[in-house]
Amino acid sequence: MSGPADLPGLTGLPGLPVPLAQRVRERQGDFLLFALTPPRRTTAPEKVAEIAGRTLARLAPLDLDGVLLYDIDDESDRTDQERPFPFLPTLDPADYLRDHLGAAGLPAVVYRAVGKYAPDELGAWAAAQDPTDVLSVFVGSASRDTPVRTTLPAAHALRTEAAPDLLVGGVAIPERHTRRGDEHLRMLAKQASGCGFFVTQVVYDVNAAKNLVSDYRYACLEQGVEPVPVVFTFSVVGGVRTLEFLRWLGVDVPRWIANDLTHAHDPLQASHEHSAAAARELLAYAHASGVPVGLSVESVSARRVEIEQSVALAHELRSLLG
């Protein structure tokens, strides 16, 4: 409270939520995002506007801190298994935001699959963003064999140069931590190259998520680094096909949950309950451990019932954040 005439800073204004970028910068968690995949590239422009309008109407009651916009890449070179849903190129998330979602005034976290862009293009985009409203997540390629136009380290170097104020996050994968045990060190390395937050893929294995938070926390303590927010993503599953798709994406679903979803009369409702319980457990753990944690909800499939249930899940997660 050192402003002129004791005017409170933005953070201190009672009743006004702290904007996402400021929260992340101040290393606060407890925010809620909704993750969207832009419409397919083949969608007619008037149809895109209609989809965007319907999406914003759905999200309006949620009191979100922001939206997250995925930059979908064909990840079929990541695995030999057949993709359960076909890959269809989608609109550029930055274009979709600018042309269709900007009016809502919601902060946005725009993913960049950096390998898809030339360095100039990526740098120019980063420099053109208003860092109070736009954040980004830089994602490297899914496999070493994918030809890339910009590597992840190059993208971070570019950003530091061209857009020093743009908050950029990285991907953190609890499942990779289960296999290799060093994801917390990767996070610290990414943090050193400029990541100000992390986002996970969909979480069903809370134990793996807690392992990562814990190892990250103690590594931060050891290295004298302050932990940055980690955004955990949750989603519902409407049936066996979506469950298979989650697995194809690399999501570990514990057997007991997979069994429940496979046998449930209403898998959508059952997965909603599992996800809400997982989020609750993870939040309680994060609060106790001092690592700032945010929540994100996505609809893995494009089926209307799954989208609507995801919105209901976001409603419930909002209530967990008080």
Which residues contribute to the site for its own copies (CB under 8 A)? 181, 205-207, 210-211, 213-215, 217-218, 254-256, 259-260, 263, 285
CB of 217 to its own copies, least distance (A): 8
CB of 259 to its own copies, least distance (A): 5
Looking at beta carbons only, is 152 or 291 nearer to its own copies? 291
CB of 84 to its own copies, least distance (A): 22
Looking at beta carbons only, is 22 or 211 nearer to its own copies? 211
Looking at beta carbons only, is 33 or 286 nearer to its own copies? 286
Distance CA 44, CA 61 (A): 27
CB of 227 to its own copies, least distance (A): 14
Looking at beta carbons only, is 199 or 213 nearer to its own copies? 213
Tell me the two tokens of residue 248: 């194809």
235: phi then psi, degrees, rounded to nearest 5: -155, 165
CB of 11 to its own copies, least distance (A): 30
- Strands, DSSP E only, in 4-100? 32-36, 66-69
Looking at beta carbons only, is 79 or 214 nearer to its own copies? 214
Find where tokens 């976290």 sit: 109
Looking at beta carbons only, is 43 or 211 nearer to its own copies? 211
Tell me the two tokens of residue 295: 């929540």
Distance CA 214, CA 220 (A): 10
Helices (H), ranges, the chain: 20-25, 45-59, 93-96, 119-128, 152-162, 174-180, 183-192, 206-223, 240-248, 255-263, 267-289, 304-320
CB of 212 to its own copies, least distance (A): 8
Distance CA 45, CA 222 (A): 52
Looking at beta carbons only, is 210 or 315 nearer to its own copies? 210
Distance CA 287, CA 276 (A): 16
Looking at beta carbons only, is 95 or 226 nearer to its own copies? 226
CB of 181 to its own copies, least distance (A): 8
Distance CA 273, CA 280 (A): 10
Distance CA 104, CA 78 (A): 35
How many angstroms separate the Cα of 301 from the Cα of each of 85, 166, 321?
Answer: 9, 30, 25
59: phi then psi, degrees, rounded to nearest 5: -85, -20
CB of 4 to its own copies, least distance (A): 43
Looking at beta carbons only, is 13 or 277 nearer to its own copies? 277
Distance CA 278, CA 62 (A): 20
Give the residue from 228, 222, 165 showing the smallest Cα distance to 198.
228
The kind and range of the H/E element at 136 are: strand 134-139
CB of 207 to its own copies, least distance (A): 4
